[in-house]
Structure 1
């Protein structure tokens, strides 16, 4: 019965948001940001194709224009976990904006990735103890993990299976009034009921790892793998 209720909630989410199988399919009315990640070597800004102006500064170590025969994207090289020095050039940073905070809205982050590695924070806004809450999508042990931390509590979902198989996968991390849901390749992988409350912080969106870390007391959790695109939706 609980699984059926989760499926119903997932269906509701599909009604509220486009399935976002590609950035072009995202519903323009609910789209807050679309990052196609089509930039090539030498470019320093990640363009927001939504028209809302949420462009991101690309770190010098991010591999741009990575073409694998089917798609163009970014590559993040593997860095040893919890080993100084920090590598801020490994990150992409998008300035804070209310569009990128869930607030009290339904909210979804969807991305397409490919990796053979088993750790790293893929995208986040805020960190574990910052005022105003935070959201994050990471891949510890090769299993996508979706976290929303708000004024009413935290819900973290962990995929029951790994996707670090070197193939492309679409991962979606969604927050509804009814709960939080994790979908992989269009299928519900995990869900939990509960309201996380307001999430609204002053931090930039960080892609590729944590922005505030020292690799000693706080690991930077740098992502290793490829990214094809990311969308952010809110309604």
Structure 2
């Protein structure tokens, strides 16, 4: 299994010192390696927790680029009907995927030349119980957590839509939210979001509830090598 950033280093993330990589530990909630072959419809969770997902029919599988095999999400015109539910990977709702009041981290490896899109999220901006998401408007990663005490966002100061692979980690702890790219903290906000817990599935590749008219689906365009969720 690839070496992942764990919540043991969240303090250094928030203080701005370089963060180290550690092997996944007991706090692993889900690890989706995204190594399925073309024709598969189930995204396997190799954490042992059984949080498998449903792969939409428009998601490219078994795509190998620069030594990594993962999923490909083709570009779709923003705010232009029809919707494309097959563009998404959907993991059914499970309380283990909710941040709750715990320390919480999402790590993923992406490659894109796109300028927009929601990469991973659970819930949307008006969802009861709060939500979190990672998106990449203008090629700059944004990490957002909304709980019963407010919203905190960490926004990368530079774009990473250069066609190279990048590892992104988004962390929420009791003292704030932080964002790291390729092992280095790039942004953070201090504060406390409060509890986040909703009954929505986790989606990869865009929004679940959208119509491309009044609510854009914000479909991600690019490749994903893996996604993990960890808590402490």
TM-score (norm 2): 0.92
Q: Structure 2: how far apart are the matches of 1:210 and 1:171?
A: 20
- Which residue is 1:123 aligned to? 120
Unmatched segments (≥5 aa) in structure 2:
1-8
Unmatched segments (≥5 aa) in structure 1:
1-6
- Which residue is 1:4 aligned to? none
Q: Structure 1: how far apart are the matches of 2:21 and 2:189?
A: 20
Q: Structure 1: how far apart are the matches of 2:153 and 2:79?
A: 23
User: Does 2:182 match 1:182?
Assistant: no
- Which residue is 2:11 aligned to? 9
Count of residues in correspondence between the two structures: 222
- Which residue is 2:21 aligned to? 19
Q: Structure 1: how far apart are the matches of 2:136 and 2:65?
A: 22
- Which residue is 1:3 aligned to? none
Q: Structure 2: how far apart are the matches of 1:12 and 1:184?
A: 13
Q: Structure 2: how far apart are the matches of 1:230 and 1:98?
A: 18
Q: Structure 1: how far apart are the matches of 2:58 and 2:208?
A: 14
- Which residue is 1:170 aligned to? 167
**Aligned pair partner of 1:39 in 27, 36, 51:** 36
Could you list the structure 1 runs, at least 4 aligned residues long, displaced by more than 2 angstroms after superposition: 7-13, 17-20
TM-score (norm 1): 0.91
Task: Encode CA deviations 1:64-89: one digit per residue, 9 max, x unaligned.
Answer: 00012401100000000000000000
Q: Structure 1: how far apart are the matches of 2:167 and 2:20?
A: 14
> Match of 1:82, SS?
coil
CA contact (8 A) 1:151 1:196 kept: yes
Give the superposition deviation at 1:156: 1.2
Give the superposition deviation at 1:19: 3.1
